[in-house]
Copies of this chain bind each other. A is one copy, B any other.
């Protein structure tokens, strides 16, 4: 499958940075929110090694924003998530799983509070705008829901602070995790947030208006030259090591937050109205039959995978691997997998069957990855 070219048209929206991205010759692309997203440049392994040491500029314009503005803005956003947003302050972001009326996960955005009655949801890969618009129209809320012309770049890696400080000023170093400030870079209006889809630190720069994509990219890339900057993208190895979930891969509308571990981002019982209250309280009371766990597969080389792989226990299929990548650091293939709750305990041995029909031994890891035992 890796050899099949991606055929592009207007429907797979071009990002404001795509022309520059292509000059760096990405090895693969994905489509995310109807927009292109590179998946590797030199190779997953080389990109990973560079990200761990240096700094990378990522075109994540596909992290589209859904703007919710108006008197009922907070009410609508609160309605969609069990996470309490009532104490958010302007300039703050908060990771908030969106959950439907049955407790199914719709998306897992970062909610940014831009003003008292104005929010952006920086979304993963589903049409959240249609979901929120539907609710707003159905409830006759006094709110506007739309996709503003905003395209994020991410600056990720241990040298990200130095690059951005050299470009914008030392004050960017004091931006707190998930908070943001309004700035200009090369005259282009941006939000700068301390966030990003890696565990290596850095920023997301939300560019307002798509006409200056090349200017902003060039300015940031040039500022990074003395820090060994490269074009990069969310890295599969890094996200598995760090434990970042991917909507559509690791959880879908079929999963509730307790199954996939998103329940650690909220406490049941917030005071605002939210549609999943009854469903989530019932699920919490009854417990879940499966849990998304870290599963270390005892194989010291990459495993090709199209979609999922079955997980076995006592020769029966009991679950599925949803994402995986080989980690040189851990000498194993790290994965996320749904496993029955009674087997979701650290050290539990399971097997994974791949396309080559091997049964590979695998160990459930509760909280963090441990060296292969």
Contacts and interface: CB of A to CB of B under 8 A. Distances in A.
A189 interface: no
Chain copies in the assembled complex: 2
A137 interface: yes
B306 A8 contact: yes
B28 A6 contact: yes
A133 interface: yes
A269 interface: no
Contacts of A125: 11, 34
Contact of A7 (B40, B134, B323): B40
Contact of A34 (B8, B40, B248): B248
A139 interface: yes
Interface string A100-118: 1100001000000000000
Nearest to A137: B101
A6 B29 contact: yes
Nearest to A80: B134
A5 B3 contact: yes
A4 B26 contact: yes
Contacts of A30: 6-9, 11-12, 31
A39 interface: yes
A9 B135 contact: no
A299 interface: no
A182 interface: no
Interface string A265-281: 00000000001000000
A317 interface: no
Given A34-B248, A101-B137, A138-B139, A4 B1 contact: no
B10 A249 contact: yes
Contact of A248 (B1, B10, B18): B10
Interface string A125-137: 1111011111111
Nearest to A3: B5
A14 B137 contact: no
A212 interface: no
A307 B9 contact: yes
Given A5-B27, A6-B5, A12-B31, A133 B131 contact: yes
Given A106-B130, A126-B127, A127-B126, A4 B6 contact: yes
A308 interface: yes
A22 interface: yes
A174 interface: no
Interface of A: 1-14, 18, 22, 26-32, 34, 39-40, 100-101, 106, 125-128, 130-139, 246-249, 275, 305-308, 322-323
